[in-house]
Amino acid sequence: MNHLWRGWDQRKVAETSMNRESSRSHAVFMLTLITERTDGAVVNSRSSRLNLVDLAGSERQGQTHNTGEQLKEAGSINNSLSILARIIRTVSTSKEGTYVGYRDSLLTHLLRDSLGGNAKTTVIVNIHPNAEFIGDTGSTLTFAVNCKKVKNTAHVNVAISCKDVESLKKLVEKNEHLLKENEKLQEELAEQKEIYVLEKNQREAADNEFAKMKNEYELIIKNIMDELNKEKLEKVQIEKERDEAAAAQKHENLSQNCTNLREKMIEGFDSDISTEAR
C-alpha cells in the first residue's frame, strides 16, 4: 500500500476550465507476485500480476481552454485513448491470428495481457450527467460496449527451472512418460467408448427387434382371439336358433295334439248324442 500511495502522490494534476484537479496523465500501478516451490533440484514457480489503471479523461480544447504545456498533455492523453479504443475495437471484432498493434502506444503495450490475453479484466467508465456532453457520453458507452466484447483466456503462469541438468532431464523424461501414458489412456478410453456405443446400438437394435416381435405376437394373439370369439358367437347364435326352432316345433306339435284331441272329443260327443237320440 505504501508503494501505491507513493505512486498516487507522484501523479500530475492541474486545474482546467472543466476540472479543479484534472489528471494530466494516466496512472498505472502494477503489482507482480511470484511464488516458488522447490522439489529437490527443481524449482516450480508461479507468477501473477495485478494492474490498477486510472485513465485520464479525453479533453476538448474548446471546453478546457488549455494552452501551452497543458494543451500538449491533452493531445498526448487523447492520442493514447484513441489508440486504446482502436486496439479494443480490433481485439473485439477481428478473427484469431489478426495482427493487433499493442506497441502503438506505451499504455496498450503495458496492458496487452488485459486486452484479449491471459487476464481477468474489469472496466469502470464514468459519464457526465449534463445533456451538453451527450456526444462524449455516447462515445464512452460505445467504448464500454467494445470492452465487454473482448474475450480473455485466463490461466496459471507456471515455470519450471533447475540448476541440476540431470534432474531436469529426469523431470523431462518423466513428463514425456506421463504424456505417453496419458495418450495411451486416451486411446483406450476412445476404444472403450466406441465399444460402448457399438454395444449400446446393438442393445437398442435387439430391443427394437424384440418390441417388433412382441407387437406381431400380440397382433396374432388378438386375431386368434377375435376368430375364436367370432366362432363362439356364431355357435351360440346357431344353438339359439336351433332352440327357438325346437321350441316352435314343440309348440306346433302341442297345438296340433290339442286340436286333434278337441276334434276327437267333439266326435265322441256327437256319437253319444246320436246314440241317445235313437
Give tens-digit pLDDT for 64-82: 566 677 777 777 888 888 8
Residue 269: pLDDT over 70: no
User: In which band, very low, low, confident or very high, does the pLDDT at 169 lie, cut at 50, 70 and 90?
Assistant: confident
pLDDT, residue 145, reads 92
Give tens-digit pLDDT for 10-32: 777 766 656 676 677 788 888 88
Exposure string for 2-24, b = 16+ CB within 10 A, e = fewer: eeeeeeeeeeeeeebeeeeebbb
pLDDT, residue 18, reads 65
Q: What would the mean pLDDT of 252-257 be, rounded to a whole number?
A: 82
Domain count, the chain: 1
The three three-digit cell numbers of residue 49, written as one number: 500480476
Residue at 64 is within a domain:
yes
Q: Which residues have C-beta within 8 Å of that of residue 162, sequence separation ≥ 6?
A: 41, 42, 43, 168, 171
Residue 172: pLDDT over 80: no
The three three-digit cell numbers of residue 87, written as one number: 486496439
DSSP 55: P
pLDDT cut 90: percent of the chain above it: 4
CA trace torsion 83, 85, 90, 91 (10° rounding): 110
Q: What are phi and psi of 115, to 5 degrees?
A: -115, 80
Q: Specify whether the CB–CB gap between 92 and 149 falls below 8 A.
A: yes
Residue at 33 is within a domain:
yes
Q: What would the mean pLDDT of 230-240 be, rounded to a whole number?
A: 87
**Which of 158-167, 232-241, 248-257 shows the lowest per-residue confidence on average (mean pLDDT)?**
158-167
Here the CATH number for the domain that contains residue 114 is: 3.40.850.10
pLDDT, residue 185, reads 92
Give the domain extent around 50.
Answer: 2-162
Give tens-digit pLDDT for 102-146: 898 888 898 888 888 888 889 998 888 888 888 888 888 998 999
pTM: 0.50
Q: What would the mean pLDDT of 270-275 be, rounded to a whole number?
A: 64
Q: What would the mean pLDDT of 166-183 be, rounded to a whole number?
A: 81
pLDDT, residue 167, reads 67
pLDDT, residue 17, reads 59
Residue at 184 is within a domain:
no
Exposure string for 176-207, b = 16+ CB within 10 A, e = fewer: eeeeeeeeeeeeeeeeeeeeeeeeeeeeeeee
Residue at 253 is within a domain:
no
Residue 218: pLDDT over 60: yes
Residue at 156 is within a domain:
yes
User: In which band, very low, low, confident or very high, does the pLDDT at 258 lie, cut at 50, 70 and 90?
Assistant: confident
Q: How many residues does the chain have?
A: 278
